[in-house]
Structure 1
Amino acid sequence: MRFAAIADIHGNALALEAVLADIAEQGIATADIVNLGDCLSGPLEAGRTADILVPLQLVTVCGNHDRYLVEHAAGDMHEWEADAYAELSPAHLDWLKSLPFDAVFRDVAYLCHATPHDDNTYWLEQVSSQGHVHLRDPATTEAWAAGITQSLIICGHTHIPRAVQLSDGRLIVNPGSVGGPGYTDDAPHPHKVEAGLPHASYAILDDASGRWSVTFRLVPYDHMAMSRLATERNRPAWASALATGFVRG
Structure 2
Amino acid sequence: MRFAAIADIHGNCLALEAVLADIAAQGIGHDHIVNLGDCFSGPLEAGRTGDLLLLLDAVTVRGNHDRYLIEQERAAMHASDAAAYDQLSPRHLQWLKALPVTRIWRDTVFLCHANPKVDDVYWLEKVSPEGKVHLNDRASIEALAEGIEQELILCGHSHLPRAVRLADGRLIVNPGSVGCPAYDDDLPVYHRVEAGTPLASYAILEKQEGNWTVTFRLVPYRHLDMARLAASRNRPDWASGLECGWL
- The TM tier, using the shorter chain, reads over 0.9
Residue 143 of structure 2: aligned partner: 143
Render the CA deviation track for 1:129-157: whole Å, top value 9, x for unaligned: 11100011100100000000000000000
Gaps of 5+ in 1: none
CA distance in 2 between partners of 1:76 and 1:143 (Å) = 34
What secondary structure sits across from 2:208 in the alignment?
Answer: coil
Residue 225 of structure 2 aligns to a residue in which SS? helix
CA RMSD of aligned residues (A): 0.4
Aligned to 1:90: 90
The question of whether the paired residues in 2 share the 8 Å contact of 1:108 and 1:152 is answered with: yes
Q: Which string of whole-angstrom CA distances, capped at 9 and with x for unpartnered residues, describes residues 73-117 of structure 1? A: 011110011100110000010001111000011011000000000
Alignment match, 1:99: 99
Q: Distance in 1 between matches of 2:186 and 2:178?
A: 22
Q: Which amino acid is the alignment partner of residue 206 of structure 1?
A: E
1:108 matched to which residue of 2?
108
Question: 1: distance between equivalents of 2:201 and 2:113?
Answer: 16
- 1:190 matched to which residue of 2? 190
Which string of whole-angstrom CA distances, capped at 9 and with x for unpartnered residues, describes residues 161-212 of structure 1? 0000000000000000000000000000100000000000000000023100
Q: Which amino acid aligns with 2:56?
A: L
In 1: Cα distance, 2:137 partner to 2:210 partner? 28
State the partner residue of 1:166: 166
**TM-score, with length taken from structure 2:** 0.99
State how 1:44-83 maps to structure 2 within 5 Å.
44-83=44-83
Structure 1 contact 111–155 (Cα < 8 Å) conserved? yes
Q: Amino acid of the residue matched to residue 66 of structure 2? A: D
- Which residue is equivalent to 1:33? 33
CA contact (8 A) 1:126 1:136 kept: yes
- The corresponding residue for 1:131 is 131
Aligned to 2:201: 201
Residue 239 of structure 1 aligns to a residue whose secondary structure is helix
Q: What's the TM-score once normalised by structure 1's chain length? A: 0.99
1:179 and 2:179 are equivalent in the alignment = yes
- How far apart are 1:239 and its partner, in Å? 0.2
Task: List 4+ stretches of structure 1 deviating above 4 A.
Answer: none
Structure 2, unmatched stretches of 5+, are: none
- Verify: 1:152 aligned to 2:149, yes or no: no
Equivalent position amino acid for 1:109 in 2: V
Q: Distance in 1 between matches of 2:28 and 2:108?
A: 17
Contact 1:2 1:208 in 2 (8 A): no
